[in-house]
Amino acid sequence: MRRRRYLAGITALSTALVLVLVLLAGHRWLQGIAVATGAGSLAVGLASLVRQILQSEGGNNSRSVGTGYLIMPFSACRPALLGVHSVLTRDGIAHDLQDLPLYVGRSVDHQIRGRLRERAGSPFVLLIGPPCTGKTRTLMEAVRAELPGSRILLPDHAAGIRAALKERHLKGCIVWLDDLGRFLPGGGRPEGLRRSDVWALLKSKVTLLATMSTHEYAAQFRQDDTAAETRGMLQFAEEPIFLGEDFSARERRQAALVARTDPRIREALTNPEFGVTQVLAGAPVLVHAYEHADKLKRMVLDILVGAFRLGVESPLSSSVLRRMLEASSLEIATMLRLEELESALQELALPGAAGLAILNQVVDESVQVIGYRPSGYLLHYAPDRTLHLIRPIWSILSQELQSAPDLTRLGHAARERHLYAYAERFYRSAMARGSTAATAWLASLKAELGDFEQAIQLYSSAISEGDEDSRVMLALLLDSLGQTEAAERQLRQAQAQGDAGASYWLAGLRGDVNDRGGPRSSADDD
């Protein structure tokens, strides 16, 4: 990263030198342009080098990159990093994120900003609403209004949060969890945020800001135990704040005022089928493309969306898609030619009227197409057909996928559907590719199925391979089996290794937690 930043400065200097050579060439009509452009490039190059050298020395305002996370000043954070959608219009222009429409105040602004203003007791603000309704933008504007001088932690995954807790001083930091579902156990994710992680974050005096879809939030309260850990974690949040799917009457009046100077808002207000924020995000274009696709294209889209919702993040090649299509339909199996499928995929990957493609092509270093992913907006709006992925398709995925994270996520998805044989097959395939996380997940599966001896062996194996997170899981299993002393030994070892969450579980063994599951204080005894 540092070398790349230096190269940016060197490139600007090189541009200046090339333009100086133009001066020496004797072309008078170029000399005026060269003088101005060369001087500007030289200044930009020098400024870039000085800025990057200062930042590389570790100043407080520089970006801090760790394993699975990024810490930087909020004021330097572009909306794209926060997860704010780009803005699209009917003319096909994709506006840069720095050219966002004027913010239309939402009815929940006073609630969010009030909690940020107080910042008492390390607030955990959870904003819930349907996809593409402006949740991320709303939180961003709240921080911009109330905490503009804060640092912000942007984790890639739950393990990144745990790494930041070990490596960084986070007091006063904003922890940004856009789309909280990405960090939770379940839904095909190989690891998840634990109750103890949130407890450790709040003990560090951070401000926790999260968004979550209405569907994902409701799924945490189903009538089984698969989401019990997440429910316990959500108890740390203050009362969730809900954002409506469309603008309220008051919000639409305010948007009408903004629309006088912003044609993007004016166009979005006139759409009768979609909300303002959904129109701005380009939802109508992709929904139309999906609904009007022919039979083959529709099957391709359904299979891709289904696979990705199960956890397959690697691109799927045309040959793998052909096998999956043939397993899904006898008619397809007898008629489909690979050339026909590749033609359909290329058409789906072409940008449509608004500059959006319903599928994204993935290319290698030689610019050869290696596979396809569904667009993010399609994943939001396509019907949920993941349960229509029949068992032969699970077998194809277990044979074709090479990514250990993909295999681990699929193992978890199979486990949620009580396909335990497939779950173990996926976990073991991921283990064969070096995933200690998969070892821990197989251990938890064995414990769930009552094979405690095998579970303890697998957790111990994961710990020996360097997965300290498994030590806490082993301790919890030992405690559930009545082996309290052995559990405490494991937790103390985890605590010595810097696992901040181990303190939470040790407190639990000693009874030093309050009714909400948080650390007991003198106020709890009053």
pLDDT tens by residue, 471-488: 988 999 998 999 988 998
370 shares a domain with 424: no
352 shares a domain with 431: no
pLDDT tens by residue, 187-201: 444 467 888 889 899
pLDDT tens by residue, 382-441: 776 654 557 788 889 988 998 888 898 899 888 988 889 999 999 999 999 988 889 999
129 shares a domain with 39: no
Mean pLDDT for the stretch of residues 155-173: 87
Q: Which domain holds residue 314?
A: 288-400
187 shares a domain with 127: yes
130 shares a domain with 217: yes
Please report the pLDDT score of residue 128 as a whole number: 94
pTM for this model (two decimals): 0.60
Question: How would residue 286 be classed by pLDDT, with cut points 50, 70 and 90?
Answer: confident
State the amino acid at position 33 in one-letter form. Answer: I
Mean pLDDT for the stretch of residues 248-269: 88
User: Quick one: which of 513, 517, 514, 456 has its CA closest to 490?
Assistant: 456
pLDDT tens by residue, 26-52: 444 334 333 333 434 434 343 443 334
Residue 317, in any domain of the structure: yes
Residue 185, in any domain of the structure: yes
More confident residue, 114 or 20: 114
More confident residue, 178 or 524: 178
86 shares a domain with 181: yes
CATH of residue 135's domain is: 3.40.50
411 shares a domain with 396: no
Confidence check: pLDDT of 102 > 50: yes
Enumerate long-range contacts of 314-319, CB under 8 Å, 24 or more apart: 314/371, 314/401, 314/402, 314/403, 314/406, 315/362, 315/370, 315/371, 315/372, 315/373, 316/371, 316/372, 316/373, 317/370, 317/371, 317/372, 318/342, 318/345, 318/371, 318/372
More confident residue, 458 or 85: 458
Confidence check: pLDDT of 219 > 50: yes
Residue 255, in any domain of the structure: no
Mean pLDDT for the stretch of residues 335-347: 86
CATH of residue 422's domain is: 1.25.40.10
C-alpha span between 290 and 85 (Å, rounded):
20
Q: What total of structural domains would you count in the chain?
A: 4
